[in-house]
Amino acid sequence: MAAANPVIKIAALSGSIRKASFNSGLIRSAIEVSKESVNGVQIEQIDISQLPILNTDLIVDGAFPPAVEEFRQQILKADSVLFASPENNYSVSAPLKNALDWASIAQNCWGDKAAAIVSAGGGFGGGRSQYHLRQIGVYLDLHFINKPEFFLNAFEPPAKFDGDGNLIDAEAKDRLKQVLIALRDFTLRLKN
């Protein structure tokens, strides 16, 4: 009898720390969709709002601040990463860049992990932030899925999110499901 595929542990990070963030809404929806219709994945949303601004003076005798150490351990335990990346000035948000940097200090916690990016915003739906995150990921040794891409114009009718930042668009949820399936399958390929 063949062994069943293991459960893929996905660390999910939103680059927005705003309460009703559309990008955080994508993460919440990914968790919901995965429980309903994507077998073999377990998504844990990782809060990056409590990370101090990167300052290596805070590393004392080789020990990271407690919030940073906890974050680093969560990334190390994950098999892959789902980023929800808002776009700020054609790039990734400051909170997300800070998280990327804290977890890259030796030992690089991101190394050799599969990853996917989703984003919501105006215009191109956060697409430029995704391309910049992919560039950063080269140095971090992250392996991003190439397809499907997920950019969501959050302001184009019909409404994509409710007033609390929860994704309500059925088509977007289906596209999100396809991203999760591709991330699961790519993670399994990398692990084998």
The C-alpha atoms of residue 179 and residue 30 are separated, in whole angstroms, by 9
pLDDT for residue 192:
85
pLDDT value at position 36? 95
pTM recorded for the entire structure: 0.95
What pLDDT is stored for residue 3 in this prediction? 53
138-163: b or e for each residue (b if 16 or more CB lie within 10 Å)? eebebbbbeeeebbbebeeeeebbee
Contact by Cβ (8 Å): 119, 85: yes
55-86 confidence digits (pLDDT tens): 999 999 999 999 999 999 999 999 999 999 99
Q: How high is the pLDDT of residue 2?
A: 47
pLDDT of amino acid 167 = 97
| pLDDT score at 164 | 93
pLDDT of residue 4: 64
Q: What is the pLDDT of residue 124?
A: 83
Tokens of 59: 């590393």
Task: Give alpha helix (H) positions in the chain.
Answer: 22-37, 66-77, 94-102, 127-140, 170-191
The domains found in the chain, sorted by start residue, are 8-191 (3.40.50.360)
Contact 21, 165 (CB under 8 A): yes
Question: Which residues of the chain fall below pLDDT 70?
Answer: 1-5
